[in-house]
Amino acid sequence: MKRTIVAMPGDGIGKVVLPEAIRVLEAAGFEAEYVNGDIGWDFWCDEGNPLPQRTVDLLAEHRIGLFGAITSKPKDKAAAELKPELRDKGFVYYSPIVTMRQHFDLDICTRPCQTFPNNPLNFIRKSADGGFEEPLVDVVIFRQNTQGLYAGVEWTNPPENVRAALASHPRFKAFLDVPGEDLAVSTRIFTREYCRRIVTAAFEYAAKHGYKSVTVCEKPNVIRETSGMMEAEAAEVAKRFPDIQLWSTNIDAQMMWLTKNPEDYGVIVAGNMFGDIVSDGFAGLVGGLGFACSANVGKDVAVFEPTHGSAPKYETLEPSIVNPIAMVLSACMMLDHIGETEKAARIRTAISSVIAEGSVRTYDMMKLPGGPKVIEQGAATTQQVTDAIIAKL
């Protein structure tokens, strides 16, 4: 039976890299039907909704999505670009990615950050003898995707009942006299069930893939209730995995250690914001946005996407210069998710050989400032990198 995948290219370079990933999937022998899912800026402008209901319905039906990237703009720009008939009708722009994550409860976000040998963008550091060493990074971040600081429960000038609730906490004393319009509150809400789900996913992944440690990266010494709950659930879940060590680091210290000993970490688990920070940090050690892939997995639906955005400054370049690898690696995560692990492994090996040989490299890997000139400077186009991967397959 052929699978149906909802392909959501989105905006800008999302439209460039998603078809490249599909080319690689086909070359690896993965047979699927792709249905197009509308998402992004054009649909905001034309319909007042960047995630139309028809796309939500497609995802609900087929359950697997491949997503490129979208463009988001600030409130006033969003309102100004709405087509005239829709203006002043109460349409409010809201990120379709956040909407998708919340609607389908895609609570488990996985972001692997793994070194490809001979990638010129790999992090190196000085060794004690004055030489250089290139630590092998193999970290997989599990980020809680739906709660915490990004859940959107926040106010400037909170309503009276909220203020009253806050005032019932002794520590709110310091803010009692602040006028409403000068008071901004963003909540950090964790639930035990979702802490349990994310740490369980992290431990199960570590066990399946042979990682020796799971590190909870929070700040329980200061943010006692929420970080504390995550840590307590991790301690509970860890009992079922006696062969895996449970470590705990504070997010700030973790960023300090980022370049000191990145090779010591395996699986890392964190709430929404700290997970975002720590995954960007580790992604920077292994090549950055051209390599950063991710999975967003819920109970029923899963969506796979590169971490990068729509890179508007490159969207109209012909030929395209952006690196397709982050998108292709996201497609590999999709293959793993649906049990096509052998095909995923073959694609990763192909990517790895292209990088190791080093003759076909996008501009980012050549450390060139992006622009149309990079091709004459020896950079490969997006399509050439895909072709090289396919040739290896």
Least distance between Mg ion and beta carbon 357 (Å): 31
Measured from the CB of residue 222, what is the shortest distance to ligand NAI in angstroms?
29
Residue 360 sits in the site that holds ligand NAI (CB under 6 A): no
> And the tokens for 4?
């149906």
The answer to whether 227 contacts ligand NAI (rule: CB under 6 A) is no
What contacts 148, CB < 8 A, 6 or more positions away? 188, 189, 190, 226, 271, 272, 273
- The region of 18-26, 112-120, 309-317, 337-345 touching ligand NAI under the rule CB under 6 A is 309-317
- Burial per residue of 43-64, b for 16 or more beta-carbon CB atoms within 10 angstroms, e otherwise: bbbeebbbbbeebbebbeebbb
Among residues 163, 308, 348, 361, the one that binds ligand NAI under rule CB under 6 A: 308
Binder of Mg ion out of 276, 305, 340, 387 (CB under 5 A): 276
Query: Is 196 exposed, middle or buried (CB count within 10 Å of its CB: 0-12, 13-18, 19+)?
Result: middle
Structural contact between residues 285 and 259, judged by C-beta atoms closer than 8 angstroms: yes
| Sequence-ordered list of residues with C-beta below 8 angstroms from that of 33, at least 6 positions apart, any chain | 2, 3, 4, 5
Binding of Mg ion at residue 305 (CB under 5 A)?
no
96 forms part of the interface with ligand NAI (CB under 6 A): no
Question: Using the rule CB under 6 A, which residue among 49, 55, 72, 115 binds ligand NAI?
Answer: 72
312 to 9, 46, 316: CA distances (angstroms): 14, 19, 8
Instruction: List the single partner that 276 binds among ligand NAI, Mg ion, none, CB under 5 to 8 Å by kind.
Output: Mg ion
Out of 97, 198, 283, 295, which residue is the one contacting ligand NAI (CB under 6 A)?
97
The residues in 267-296 that bind ligand NAI, with binding defined as CB under 6 A, are 289-290
**Residue 370 contacts ligand NAI per CB under 6 A:** yes
Pick from 66, 112, 113, 71: which is nearest to 93 by CA? Answer: 71
Catalog residues that contact ligand NAI under the rule CB under 6 A.
Answer: 69-72, 97, 289-290, 308-313, 322-323, 326, 364, 370
Name the site residues for Mg ion (rule: CB under 5 A).
276
